Structure 1
């Protein structure tokens, strides 16, 4: 993060106040619900004072994610820090708010997702994942964390919920998906000069990322970043698969409880369903905002190749 951004970022926290009249209590939400809501905003750019999908500043993003599960945490970093119970770094759980000192005070906030990762809106990458222990930036600036009332701590402690936190040994990141798609299609990956700000020619999957970019299979965010270490949702993957394998709708509609007709991924999910690449989950949902597991990715690609 470049220093020229720090002053406006800090100003954004000071000039906005919490929205009055909103309840700060709600039926307990789960950490996995919170993280899934955060994932749907991946790639949205940073905007000073931003509180909408046109652009978020850091506390605007965290406020929106908690609002999505019916919890008001206030507008500024200081508001949000004051709303929760303090938590030590060694006791962090998915769903906790984590705070950083980027300009002499509490000037940045994100949501802890487990395994040392947090999701945030940063000036350099917009909504993206980062490590709280990043030795080059965040690690030295970590200031503390709070746990917000209304996020179910019992659910957060269950093993299956810990798995929902982003763990790239279980869940596929964008770089890994690019590799799997490029391999399945037999693409030429010799060009490692990827046309993304955050992918160096020496990076793992650089050739695969550039290969899928050239074919329009995968794009970056509005800031020109590919975010190779970030997770990919099942909804996002549906679009990638349809584009990569040239899949066409075979007729009929399948109803999924979590995919509305106006959902940005509905068209692609329907194409997968009509090709019998997916039947959805046992509860009738597609899991549109859930991170893709490696096992799911392998199954989707195998079925897409057959088609």
Structure 2
């Protein structure tokens, strides 16, 4: 698996402040949500802790671990951590807890703002839900702040902000992927009225994102954002390439040990591999949660282009 350039100040994550709250000053709300959103679509699996399947607390623990913050394994154990916060004082990154079993705390998610939370639901997998719906509103137990995610001192535009944990001289941003695909596909990029709320008409990504959206290549996140300055996982890249080049399954079947047939990315990876666009990581795995490097991006696009 490719090495990620993680935040160089992980030590600051582990400093306890007050009643068991980590001071995650090196992580912003944007970094927290970007980390959580990359798992959207991963199916629910009871006891699941990997991208092949996640239960609710397995998901929250995985996201926090990605940011260097260690939390307990189960929802009830996570509820025993951190500092209690009222519903009216919720901040991005707070854990929200629910009683879905009738026997106390049995479900957990991560608050992402605007009265919404991201969680791994039994019938939905990882998705964003509204806390205002009758189901969740009547089952709400409380919230805990295990870590504080602070805003960046200097406000920047979405295009200027890059995930601080990623070296973009090595890894490909979503914006770079859009620009390269638009060029290779030869699509008309004159329409700059992008459907993504974070891509303005004068953005260098506007034409490319609009064209690729119309082709069904990029659909954005749950909040309608494109997130040009965020990285793309290998699983997401599989979907993007299959849609962009309209790839179909061939007679060649390739299996990867870390890709479950119940995973949201299974069909995309299977199609990509059957066309020889990817051969995996050389150890029998695909590495779907790893970020796509610029070198891999060039190779993937070149191979896919040569199929047409």
Shorter-chain TM-score: what band? 0.5 to 0.7
**Other-structure match for 2:51:** none
Contact 2:194–2:209, Cα closer than 8 Å, also in 1? yes
CA deviation map 1:186-225 (0-9, x unaligned) = 1111111101111111223111111101111111122222
Name the SS of the counterpart of 1:109 in structure 2: coil
Gaps of 5+ in 1: 1-33, 45-58, 83-100, 111-119, 138-163
In structure 1, what is the Cα distance between the partners aligned to 2:40 and 2:150? 16
If each structure's helix is expressed as a fraction of its own residues, which one has the higher value?
Answer: 1
Is 2:113 the partner of 1:123? yes
**Other-structure match for 1:155:** none
Return the offset for 1:131: 8.6
**Other-structure match for 2:235:** 235
In structure 1, what is the Cα distance between the partners aligned to 2:150 and 2:303? 34
Aligned length: 208
Name the SS of the counterpart of 1:288 in structure 2: coil
Q: TM-score, normalised by structure 2?
A: 0.55
In structure 2, what is the Cα distance between the partners aligned to 1:289 and 1:197? 26
Return the offset for 1:35: 11
Return the offset for 1:72: 3.0
Give the RMSD, CA atoms, in angstroms: 4.3
Gaps of 5+ in 2: 1-31, 43-56, 95-109, 119-127, 129-148, 157-163
In structure 1, what is the Cα distance between the partners aligned to 2:34 and 2:155? 27
CA deviation map 1:222-255 (0-9, x unaligned) = 2222222222111111111011111111113211
CA deviation map 1:237-294 (0-9, x unaligned) = 1111011111111113211111011111111111111111111012211011111111
**Other-structure match for 2:269:** 269
Is 2:93 the partner of 1:109? yes
**Other-structure match for 2:298:** 298
In structure 2, what is the Cα distance between the partners aligned to 1:80 and 1:189? 50
**Other-structure match for 1:160:** none
In structure 2, what is the Cα distance between the partners aligned to 1:296 and 1:189? 24
**Other-structure match for 2:138:** none
**Other-structure match for 2:168:** 168
